[in-house]
Amino acid sequence: MEVLGIDFGGSGIKGAIVDIKTGELVTERHRIETPQPATPEAVSEIMAELIQHFDWKGKVGIGVPAVVKNGVVLTAANIDKSWIGQTINKQLSEKTGCEVECINDADAAGIAEIHFGAGAKVKGMVFLLTVGTGIGTVIFIDKHLVPNLELGHLEFKKKSIELYAADSVRKRKDLSWKEWGKRFNKALAYYEKMFNPNLFIVGGGVSKKMEKFQDQIDLDTPVVPAEMENNAGIIGAALNLVYK
Ligand code: BGC
């Protein structure tokens, strides 16, 4: 079975058709710039455009950078505030004529990695982060998802962790990889102290750049990049329709 997976990110909205038996992309991915402001109207247009691009009539799974509970968006840290309260599954299904199901983007990336990627053989607690515009977090315990954990917003050094160590902070402050890596290590050390996971998986854009900051990582817990790199979000959003 195939599902169209879409990852709604701060800078790009990316989609591809996913084989949910193998967790592999069966098409090239297609990326459209995230509209600014990323309002529900503007983003829904892009979702419809992506569905049209793939000439898709089947099920659609979407990872969104927000808490999504019972089909309703509850937060909007890095997207337009008007998302809060939107009945996103219902609205996107009506707009596109496809069956659409949305999930938090970090939860999506985690589902992909825990079933087919870096977490597939790990017992106990796996802690995945998606590091991009914000910091998304997800914890699995023996492959069971704990949904909608917003640990990127825990307070650290008097601000939220994501305002200290997201990749957007590196870019905005023009930090070197070494400087940023030190910050990221501090954030991970904080999570390590609080949660004691068996493994950290680093997803999002920086997962492809691990060699640039690996030297700064100094923890007892192993830290590995997402095996599906930045495609984990697309794949997991699609898998969510079957691995609930
Ligand atoms: C949001 C999370 C999201 C993360 C990564 C955070 O700002 O609150 O819901 O998972 O960014 O996109």
Task: Kindly report, residue by residue over 84-112, the tens digit of the pLDDT.
Answer: 999 999 999 999 999 999 999 999 999 99
Q: What is the pLDDT of residue 243?
A: 79
Alpha carbon distance 27, 163 (integer Å): 35
Mutate to test the pocket of ligand 1, among 62, 78, 127 (most ligand atoms within 8 A of CB): 78
Radius of gyration of the chain (CA): 17
Which residues are 232's β-sheet partners? none
DSSP sequence for 8-41: E-SSEEEEEEEETTTTEESS--EEEEPPSS--HH
Q: How far is CA 99 from CA 4, 40, 170, in A?
A: 10, 18, 38
Task: Kindly report, residue by residue over 186-216, the tens digit of the pLDDT.
Answer: 999 999 999 999 999 999 999 999 999 999 9
Residues with CB under 6 A from ligand 1: 65-67, 75, 77-78, 104-106, 130, 134, 136, 150, 152, 162
Atom number in ligand 1 closest to CA 107: 10
The domains located in the chain, with CATH, are 2-108+231-239 (3.30.420.40), 121-226 (3.30.420.40)
Task: State the burial class of residue 9 (Cβ atoms within 10 Å of its Cβ: 0-12, 13-18, 19+).
Answer: buried
Q: What is the pLDDT of residue 39?
A: 95
pLDDT along the chain (244 residues), means of 10: 96 96 96 95 96 97 97 95 97 95 98 97 97 96 97 94 97 98 98 98 95 98 95 97 82
Q: What is the pLDDT of residue 244?
A: 67
Per-position b or e across 106-123, b if 16+ CB within 10 A of its CB: bbbbbbbbbbbbbbeebe
Taking the centre of ligand 1 as the mean of its atom positions, its distance from the CA of residue 121, in whole angstroms, is 26
